[in-house]
Amino acid sequence: MKPIHLSLALFVCFARAAASGDENLYLAANETEGLLAKEGQKVIVHGEVAGSRKSASGTNFVNFKDATFFLVTFKSDLPQFPEGEPADLYEGKRLAVEGAVSIYQGKPQIKLTDPGQVTVLAPNTVFPPPAETKPDSAAATKAMTEKPAPEVAPTPEAPKRKPPVDPSEYFKKEE
């Protein structure tokens, strides 16, 4: 895939997630404690692949440089990868992978079942994307609940009000 297509695919993938209102949690593959703390949660893990392998049973392991984190793809999921097995496809590449973190033998992993979970990052791609500045939540709530003033049609002139009554005319002081 050409770098321009990769960048476009990356943009579309993460724009779709942003448009859905989901907050993405980005963690580096070498942030072991953070990954362990996110067990069962959907995250986006990024890092450089190094030392991937295949087991005798056909399971693929994609390992990340300087990390205990890995991706696992079981033989039953390999037909989802028509371009090749993950251990071969992603070796030496920089990746962003989306999925739920699970723990196996004390190490964090993501089960890779679909190539759509993986984005190959171009060398010059800034990742994770810079955080968007969000408006103050109170100000945002106020802005969303405020309604613009309705346009007022000119009304006929209101009748003139009578001047206030002077109470001294009706109540006399006793002397």
72-125 tens-digit pLDDT:
999 999 999 999 999 999 999 999 999 999 999 999 999 999 999 999 999 888
What was the pLDDT predicted at 146? 52
One-character DSSP codes across 67-113: -S-EEEE-GGGGGG-TT--HHHHSTT-EEEEEEEEEEETTEEEEE--
Whether pTM exceeds 0.85:
no
Residue 155 has pLDDT above 70, yes or no: no
Residue 65 has pLDDT above 80, yes or no: yes
Least trusted range by pLDDT, from 88-92, 119-123, 128-132, 149-153: 149-153
Least trusted range by pLDDT, from 29-38, 43-52, 160-169: 160-169
Query: Which residues are CB-contacts of 143 (< 8 A; sequence separation ≥ 6)?
Result: 135
Other C-beta atoms closer than 10 Å to the C-beta of 165 total 8
List beta partners, residue 124: none
Q: Domains in the chain, please, with CATH?
A: 3-121 (2.40.50.140)
